[in-house]
Amino acid sequence: MGQHQGGRCAVGRRARASRSRHRPGGAMSPGPAPADLEAVRAQLGRPPRGTLEISARCPSGHPSVVKTEPRLPDGTPFPTLYYVTCPRLSGAIGTLEASGLMADMSERLGHDADLAAAYAVAHEDYLRERESIAHVPEIEGISAGGMPTRVKCLHVLVGHALAKGRGVNPLGDEAVDLLGDYWGSSSCADR
C-alpha cells in the first residue's frame, strides 16, 4: 500500500461488497446498510471491497472511514484496516501530505521517545484489532501508514484516529487537528 494516486493512498482495483461479516468471538453481524455501501461506492467511484462497517462519518452523516477485512473477497491481503472514503476528507489529507508533514512527523519520531512510544502503541492496537478479525500471514506484524517507525500515509493515520477516537494514534490525532474544517459549511454530498 502507500502508492498515491490523485492525492490519496491507492490500493488494488477489483472490488466487491459483502453482505455479512464475522465479529470477533465468532458472532455474525450484518454488514453496513445498503445505503451506506452505495454512498461509499459513489465516493470511491467503484464498489467497496470487504467493508465490515462504517467506522466514522462526516459532519453531514455520510461515511468517511470504513473498516475493511484484512483479506479482501478476491483473496488479496489488505493491511489497511481503516480506509478513508470521503473525497473531501481525502483531498484535505492529500494537501497535508503534499506539505511535507509526513517527513516532519517521521523526523520527530526519531527524536521524541514519548511520541515514538505512543506511536508504537497505536501500531500494536492496529495489529491487535486487525488480527481479531482474521489472521492473514502475509501481513502479520505489518500495520499500515508506516507505523511504527515512520509516516508514509496520513490517510491511514487519520482513518485510524477518526475510527478509534482521540488518544489512540498521536500522529493521526495531530493530522486530524491540522485538517480543521475540511468539510466547509455544506454537506459533503454537495461537492
The confidence score (pLDDT) of residue 182 equals 78
The confidence score (pLDDT) of residue 7 equals 35
Q: Which residues of the chain have pLDDT under 70?
A: 1-30, 185-191
The confidence score (pLDDT) of residue 30 equals 63
- What distances in angstroms separate CA 1 from CA 11, 12, 81, 139, 156, one per listed residue? 6, 9, 12, 11, 10
The confidence score (pLDDT) of residue 183 equals 73
Q: Is residue 41 part of a domain?
A: yes
Q: Is residue 111 part of a domain?
A: yes
CB atoms inside a 10 Å sphere around CB 11: 18
Placement of cell 472490488 in the chain: 15
The confidence score (pLDDT) of residue 187 equals 59
Q: Is residue 3 part of a domain?
A: no
Query: Mean pLDDT in the chain?
Result: 84
Helix axes 170-179, 113-133, angle to 10 degrees: 100
Quote the pTM value. 0.81
Q: Is residue 1 part of a domain?
A: no
Angle at CA of residue 158, ends 153 and 159, nearest 5°: 100
The confidence score (pLDDT) of residue 27 equals 40
Residues 78 and 16: beta-carbon distance below 8 Å: no
Sign of the C-alpha dihedral computed for residues 10, 7, 154 and 184 taken in this order: negative
* Count of domains observed in the chain: 1
Cα separation, 158 vs 169, in Å, equals 9
Q: Is residue 9 part of a domain?
A: no
Q: Is residue 187 part of a domain?
A: no
Cα separation, 109 vs 178, in Å, equals 18
Q: Which residues of 110-121 are buried (b: 16+ CB within 10 A; e: fewer)?
A: eeeeebbebbee
Domain extent at residue 42: 15-182
Q: Is residue 98 part of a domain?
A: yes
Here the cell at position 48 is 467497496
Angle at CA of residue 155, ends 60 and 86, nearest 5°: 25
**Any residues with CB less than 8 A from the CB of 55 and at least 6 apart, and which?**
65, 66, 67, 82, 159, 162, 163
The confidence score (pLDDT) of residue 112 equals 98
Q: Is residue 4 part of a domain?
A: no
Placement of cell 488480527 in the chain: 131
